[in-house]
Structure 1
Amino acid sequence: MKMNHVGIMVGDMDKAIEFYTNALDLDIVMNKATVVEERESAIGRMCIAVFGEGFKGFNIAHLVTSDGIGVELFEMKERAERHDLDFSRLGIFHFCLQTDDFAGVIEKTEKFGGKVRMDIMRYHPEDDSKPAKMVYLEDPFGNLFELYSHTYEETYASEYE
């Protein structure tokens, strides 16, 4: 199994594209497009099946990470202004990106309207042979994401090679 993409609800498509391309260095695959509720096309029927009758349409954009993972941005016509994190609810609550430039990404995250949720943390501060570090951030719409310095396997493996 391979990861293909993640879909993220945003409150302002133009601001979201600016944030994800400028702060997080994602590339645009397909710029902002509008999807309307209709039953004539396959995409229209699929959207009704996913979002339900009366979703009223949305804007969508497709971005990609440097390793080819897609990021779909959705701006629904009717939506809440901000994602409120509720850690008592089940479901996906964050996604994670990997970078060598923590300071640069944190600076750009704040510059483009995001927030830093914590100080940078090392997973194994007592062991200099395991330098993996992480930090939680938010996009301008309250979507939580994490940054890692190393791969997932390196971060959690008992020993690095």
Structure 2
Amino acid sequence: MDHVGITVPDIDQATQFFEAAFDAELIYESKRLADEPDEGPKTERMLNLFPGTRVEAVRMMRLRYGPGLELFQMRGPEQHEPVRPSDYGLQHFAISVDDIDAAIAQFEAAGGTMFSRPTAFMFGSEVGEGNVFCYGRTPWGSVIEMLSYPSPMPYERDTPLRRWRP
């Protein structure tokens, strides 16, 4: 995976959040807030935007391990709250961490809100000593999972294929 695209209401707030919560770094700005917005039928067709939506800013960030984060700030006549994990479509992305308690503290200090504390993996194919996960919400409502799995997972006995790990 190269990157995950996230539309946010305030690109400066989102940039600061990902820097503070996950030590992300801003690589470049594809479109600055000071630039004229991209809008019109061509942009709407190309990105499948609701008619009348303006692309105000775009930034590419880098997580220390894993894919990039492409942040979009858009304004349009029809925008919705972020999805819940029970809704259809992309619903969260996960960050692999070594110290989940420290990661939660950093996430909360940056303005995130946790749904729960670390819990043993739910599915038998993933259980193992110390294998835990938890979910939280960014200040604008996107869902992020944090997980740590220091122990082998039972699925590894049945296939040579492995989950990607940093």
| TM-score, length of structure 2 as denominator length | 0.73
Of 101, 104, 107, 2:105 maps to 107
Alignment of 1:11-160 (within 5 A): 11-31=9-29, 33-34=32-33, 36-37=37-38, 45=42, 48-50=45-47, 51-78=49-76, 80=79, 82-83=81-82, 85=84, 87=86, 89-123=87-121, 130-150=129-149, 154-155=152-153, 157-158=155-156
Letter in 2 for 1:37: D
Asked if structure 1 preserves the Cα contact closer than 8 Å seen for 2:39 and 2:53, the reply is: no
Asked if structure 1 preserves the Cα contact closer than 8 Å seen for 2:95 and 2:145, the reply is: yes
- Cα 1:129/1:69, change in 2 over 3 Å: closer
Structure-2 separation of matches of 1:81 and 1:18: 23
- Cα 1:97/1:86, change in 2 over 3 Å: closer
Aligned to 1:7: 5
Structure-2 separation of matches of 1:15 and 1:133: 29
Quote the offset at 1:84 in angstroms.
Answer: 5.3
Kindly, what percent of the aligned residue pairs are identical?
24
SS at match of 1:73: strand
Asked if structure 2 preserves the Cα contact closer than 8 Å seen for 1:6 and 1:72, the reply is: yes
- Cα 1:58/1:48, change in 2 over 3 Å: farther
Quote the offset at 1:104 in angstroms.
Answer: 2.0
Asked if structure 2 preserves the Cα contact closer than 8 Å seen for 1:95 and 1:144, the reply is: yes
Asked if structure 1 preserves the Cα contact closer than 8 Å seen for 2:128 and 2:152, the reply is: no
SS at match of 2:101: helix
Asked if structure 2 preserves the Cα contact closer than 8 Å seen for 1:11 and 1:82, the reply is: no
Structure-1 separation of matches of 2:52 and 2:79: 16
**For structure 2, which runs of at least 5 residues remain unmatched after alignment?**
158-166
Structure-1 separation of matches of 2:37 and 2:154: 43
Quote the offset at 1:133 in angstroms.
Answer: 1.0
Asked if structure 1 preserves the Cα contact closer than 8 Å seen for 2:114 and 2:137, the reply is: yes
Structure-2 separation of matches of 1:22 and 1:28: 12
- Cα 1:52/1:84, change in 2 over 3 Å: closer
Structure-2 separation of matches of 1:149 and 1:92: 21
